[in-house]
Amino acid sequence: NAGVTQTPKFRILKIGQSMTLQCTQDMNHNYMYWYRQDPGMGLKLIYYSVGAGITDKGEVPNGYNVSRSTTEDFPLRLELAAPSQTSVYFCASRHRDRANTEAFFGQGTRLTVV
């Protein structure tokens, strides 16, 4: 199994550009998450989804959009990129059952906005 796959691994954007960070998982997990991590800081939840067609805001949703049309995919869209969005982005997934809630993380996407 591939687990959680994020693409791209690295990206440089100019201010005002837009892009989509891709995340896909092959474990049939219901729950999926997007986090950002600024240097030296912990992870901040951007958006999460508890199943296909359902998304909800996390702690820092401004400037981002998500969709969840399938169980496998959870893309994160950045519109009008700003320097404050320079960060490492992690996607994660886990099973819905509370007794089996180990989350699996992707390797991250390092984004720089200049």
Partner 1 sequence: DAKTTQPNSMESNEEEPVHLPCNHSTISGTDYIHWYRQLPSQGPEYVIHGLTSNVNNRMASLAIAEDRKSSTLILHRATLRDAAVYYCILNDAGKSTFGDGTTLTVKP
Tracing tokens 């996390």 back to the chain, one arrives at: 58
Rounded to whole angstroms, how far apart are CA atoms 47 and 49?
Answer: 7
Closer Cβ to partner 1, 42 or 62, answer by number: 42
Which two three-digit tokens encode residue 15?
């201010």
Task: CB nearer to partner 1: give 18 or 44.
Answer: 44
Q: Could you identify the residue written with the tokens 């508890």? A: 50
Between 14 and 42, CB nearer to partner 1:
42
Q: How far is the CB of 17 from partner 1 (least distance, A)?
A: 25
Which residue, 3 or 16, has its beta carbon nearer to partner 1?
3
Q: Closest approach of Cβ 56 to partner 1, in Å?
A: 7
**Binding residues for partner 1 (CB under 8 A):** 31, 33, 35, 41-45, 48, 50, 56, 58-59, 90, 92, 94, 96, 98-99, 101-108
35 backbone dihedrals φ, ψ, rounded to 5°: -125, 155
Closest contact distance (angstroms) between CB of 15 and partner 1 is: 26
Q: Which of 104, 110, 90 is nearest to 11 (CA)?
A: 110
What backbone phi and psi angles, to 5 degrees, belong to 83? -55, -30
